[in-house]
């Protein structure tokens, strides 16, 4: 099959590369859907699949077609898809790279993301479709991808800062910032896929904001990113701009109700408004292009030694999440306050990484809660943000599989125990990091074996101990 496809696309350049990339994506999506519908089984503490050999062959084929698309035309989409394959499905690939084994897959994936950005800028230069082409000599290679956070930085602590930008545009699913022949990337750097940002001039409405402060970012409307990063950007902007008497417009993403609810809770905490912002603009990624005459953006530095480490660009700063806890959760700072109801919070999922044997998990946690004189709270994520904060700030222990709902540990008091059923890939270190910077006690229950990110999980309830 591979040979026939190669023969048909041989010598066709861009069309051939696109065909290869699309075919690779079709295979990868098919495997992911198959795993969702037919999850692996737990055997002797390790997840295995009865069709593991066939699924490995399929993913190897997917990888092969991505690599061919890159070889034929340096295809930007193939670079990014290969990165996702390396990040999420390491156990379905042969460890044949000239790197240090599975621990290096995250680094290798990050490099592919960076290559995707460079490749896409090259395409924009060649085709000249985007309106900012008029501002600089794209054909001459003048466009610069900035990964240094811009200029005019004012720091809060050692790693967090606010940058000032003049006459800059923002658009796209992850709110890329660009202007003066430069594309500015925040702390997520290469995670931001440029190919899903830019549109032609007449495809989006340009809105002008004279003085703005933005918290738009990579996957900014997703729960984990909003609660831990978006809110961190807001409190950082507040800290840096609090002495500025001007009237700032805060720009936030359009998304699920938790965004609006969190802004309401912040306003309530500050007596009705969120200083120093006098107005809020909701950014619609599908329709809007924003032009700021003056823009302030909160960000943080990734430690130099971690720049290529798996998942390092998804870790929010400690100073930011501690401030979120202080403002929204308030009250006592340590778990176990006298007179307070103490909860064992069990986080339950309904989609990927759900507990297939949920009844057995609940029974096990009920027994543990009774032994530890705690009240079991089954958290499903539909409680509303105010109720969620109340649940987690009264938690003695939080137990759950890796996923966005664990972001709520930012509302836990110091000393709370966090038990994470952790993915085997090194990409997913967010909750160990959050526990560390928030003073929580982190316990990892490692899930070994088969690719698990999209699968339902049958859990060995005996492993749920700490």
For the chain, domain boundaries? 2-122, 132-322, 331-463
3-state SS, residue 270: coil
Query: In 128-256, which residue ranges form alpha helices assigned H by DSSP?
Result: 223-224, 231-241
* DSSP-based helix, strand, coil % in the chain, nearest 5: 45, 20, 35
First to last CA, the chain: 50
Residue whose C-alpha is closest to residue 218's, from 249, 248, 184, 241: 184
Q: For residue 30, what are the contacts with CB-CB under 8 A and spacing of at least 6?
A: 58
Which range has the worst mean pLDDT, 64-78, 299-313, 417-431? Answer: 299-313
CA distances to 246, 367, 452, 458, 462 from 360, rounded to whole Å, are 57, 11, 20, 10, 10
Rg of the chain over Cα atoms, rounded to whole angstroms, equals 23
CB 412 within 8 A of CB 438: yes
Q: What distances in angstroms separate CA 108 from CA 101, 115, 284, 358, one per listed residue?
A: 10, 11, 33, 36
Helices (DSSP H) in 167-310: which residue ranges? Answer: 223-224, 231-241, 257-269
Round to whole Å and give the CA distance between 402 and 367. 22
**pTM for the whole structure:** 0.91
- How confident is the model over 101-133, as pLDDT tens digits? 556 777 888 899 999 999 998 887 777 666 554
Query: CA–CA separation, 190 vs 170, rounded Å?
Result: 17
Closest CA to 153 of 318, 322, 313, 301: 301
| Averaged pLDDT, 243-262 | 95
Greater pLDDT, 124 or 176: 176
Q: Are 453 and 353 in contact (CB under 8 A)?
A: yes
Cis peptide bond prior to 276, omega within 30° of 0: yes
What pLDDT band is residue 98 in, cutting at 50, 70 and 90? Answer: very low
**379 touches 405 (CB < 8 A):** yes
- E strands along 108-256, which residues? 144-146, 154-156, 160-171, 176-179, 182-184, 205-214, 248-253
pLDDT at 126: 76
Please count the other Cβ atoms lying within 10 Å of the Cβ belonging to residue 21. 25
Q: What is the mean pLDDT of residues 428-443?
A: 95
User: Is the distance from CB of 232 to CB of 157 less than 8 angstroms?
Assistant: no
User: Do residues 95 and 102 make contact, with C-beta atoms less than 8 angstroms apart?
Assistant: yes
289 has pLDDT over 50 = yes
- Sheet of 395-401, strand order: 375-379, 343-347, 395-401, 417-422, 441-446
Residues forming beta bridges with residue 154, ordered by sequence position: 162
What angle separates helix 52-73 from helix 76-88, to the nearest 10 degrees? 150
Distances (CA, A) of 288 to 177, 181, 203, 291: 13, 20, 9, 10
Structural class in CATH, domain 331-463: alpha beta
Give residue-wise pLDDT tens across range 367-385. Answer: 999 999 999 999 999 999 9
* pLDDT computed for residue 201 by the predictor: 66
pLDDT tens-digit readout, 69-96? 999 999 999 999 999 999 888 888 865 5
Indicate the pLDDT class of residue 97, thresholds 50, 70 and 90: very low
pLDDT of 402 over the 50 cut? yes
- Mean pLDDT in the chain? 87
Q: Across the strands, what pairs with 418? A: 398, 442
Residue 214: per-residue pLDDT: 96
Calculate mean pLDDT across residues 386-392.
96
**DSSP structure string for 415-429:** T-EEEEEE-SSTT--
């Amino acid at each position: 099959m591979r040979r026939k496809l190669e023969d048909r696309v041989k010598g066709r350049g861009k069309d051939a590369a696109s065909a290869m990339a699309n075919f690779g994506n079709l295979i990868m999506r098919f495997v992911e859907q198959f795993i969702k519908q037919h999850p692996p089984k737990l055997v002797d503490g390790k997840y295995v699949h009865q069709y593991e050999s066939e699924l490995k062959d399929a993913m190897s084929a997917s990888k092969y077609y991505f690599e061919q698309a890159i070889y034929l035309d340096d295809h930007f989409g193939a670079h990014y898809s290969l990165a996702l394959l390396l990040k999420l499905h390491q156990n379905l690939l042969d460890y044949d790279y000239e790197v240090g084994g599975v621990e290096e897959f995250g680094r290798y994936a990050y490099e592919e993301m960076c290559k995707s950005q460079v490749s896409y800028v090259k395409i924009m230069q060649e085709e000249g479709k985007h309106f900012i082409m008029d501002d600089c000599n794209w054909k001459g290679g003048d466009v610069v991808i900035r990964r240094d956070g811009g200029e005019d930085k004012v720091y809060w602590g050692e790693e967090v800062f606010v940058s000032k930008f003049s006459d800059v545009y923002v658009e796209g699913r992850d709110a890329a910032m660009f202007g003066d022949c430069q594309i500015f990337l925040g702390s997520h750097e290469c995670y931001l896929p440029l190919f899903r940002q830019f549109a032609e001039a007449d495809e989006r409405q340009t809105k002008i904001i004279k003085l703005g402060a933005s918290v738009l970012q990579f996957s900014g409307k997703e729960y984990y990113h909003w609660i831990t990063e978006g809110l961190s950007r807001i409190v950082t902007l507040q800290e840096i701009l609090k002495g500025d008497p001007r009237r700032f417009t805060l720009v936030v993403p359009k998304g699920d109700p938790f965004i609006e609810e969190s802004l309401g809770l912040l306003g309530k905490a500050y007596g009705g408004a969120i200083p120093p912002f006098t107005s809020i603009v909701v950014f619609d990624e599908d329709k809007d292009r924003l032009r700021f005459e003056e823009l302030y953006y909160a960000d943080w530095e990734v430690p130099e030694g971690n720049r290529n480490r798996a998942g390092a660009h998804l870790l929010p700063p400690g100073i930011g999440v501690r401030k979120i806890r202080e403002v929204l959760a308030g009250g006592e700072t340590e778990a176990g306050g006298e007179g307070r109801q103490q909860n064992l919070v069990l986080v339950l999922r309904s989609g990927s990484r759900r507990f297939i044997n949920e009844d057995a998990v609940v029974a096990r946690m009920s027994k543990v809660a009774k032994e530890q004189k705690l009240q079991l709270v089954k958290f499903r994520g539909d409680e509303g943000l105010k109720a969620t904060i109340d649940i987690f700030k009264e938690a003695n222990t939080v137990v759950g599989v890796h996923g966005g709902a664990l972001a709520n540990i930012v509302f836990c008091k110091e000393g709370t125990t966090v038990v994470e059923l952790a993915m085997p890939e090194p990409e997913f270190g967010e909750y160990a990091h959050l526990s560390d910077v928030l003073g929580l006690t982190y316990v990892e229950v490692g899930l070994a074996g088969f690719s698990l990110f999209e699968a339902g999980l049958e859990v060995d309830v005996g492993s749920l101990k700490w």
